[in-house]
Copies of this chain bind each other. A is one copy, B any other.
Amino acid sequence: MLALRKYIERYTKLPEEDWQIISKAFERKVIDKNQTFVEKGKVCRYFYFLEEGLVRFYTLIDGNDITKMFTIAPGCFTSKSSLRKQKPAQESIETLENSVIWQVKFNNLGHLSQVDSWNEFIRKFIYEVDEFAEELLMQVKTETAEERYLKLTQKYPTIIQKIPLMHLSSFLGIAPQSLSRIRKKLHENRKS
């Protein structure tokens, strides 16, 4: 649970008494690899912190499995719109690795909103997520899939290896065959 504390402290000062309240609101869950624990069409009832592991946000569109996003540990995530409005989720979330997750129930989030440091954390976290989505959008508009893939491999060299090719390609918005070609090309360039 120390990981969660450290994570929140990236965003805000966290007085001991606040941490006592926050830590009591979370419960620990271990989820095996390849389990969908937030389902599209059902209401998401938790805000999550990923202590260890890797999760993937995805949705089926015309029968195609499209990867929206990944969350890498340590990191917070949830199906935002579903949790906030308590409406059916537009996406599913699954583990890609065995994962250690801390979760806080929607009902308890109201309780936490009495805690100043928690509010500051959430506010800054939402800003960060929004900026991240905007940045991805600009990248998609202005960079080729190859450039975006290269950036990912440079930023997350170990994690990229753990993501199945089909999920990485749908995240990049290209066919798996195209990603295979890009990988092969980059590999050959490295050798030469």
Chain A residues proximal to chain B, CB less than 8 Å? 59, 61, 64, 66, 68, 80-81, 84, 123, 126-127, 129-131, 133-134, 136-138, 140-142, 170-171, 173
* Complex contacts, A61 vs chain B, CB 8 Å: 142
* Complex contacts, A142 vs chain B, CB 8 Å: 61, 64, 66, 173
Main secondary structure of the interface of A (DSSP, over half): helix
Q: Given the complex of chains A and B, what is the CA–CA distance between A68 and B90 in angstroms?
A: 24
Q: Is the CB of A68 within 8 A of B140?
A: no
Q: Given the complex of chains A and B, what is the CA–CA distance between A59 and B129 in angstroms?
A: 21
Q: With A133-B133, A133-B134 known to touch, is A141 a contact of B66 (CB < 8 Å)?
A: yes
Q: Given the complex of chains A and B, what is the CA–CA distance between A59 and B123 in angstroms?
A: 26
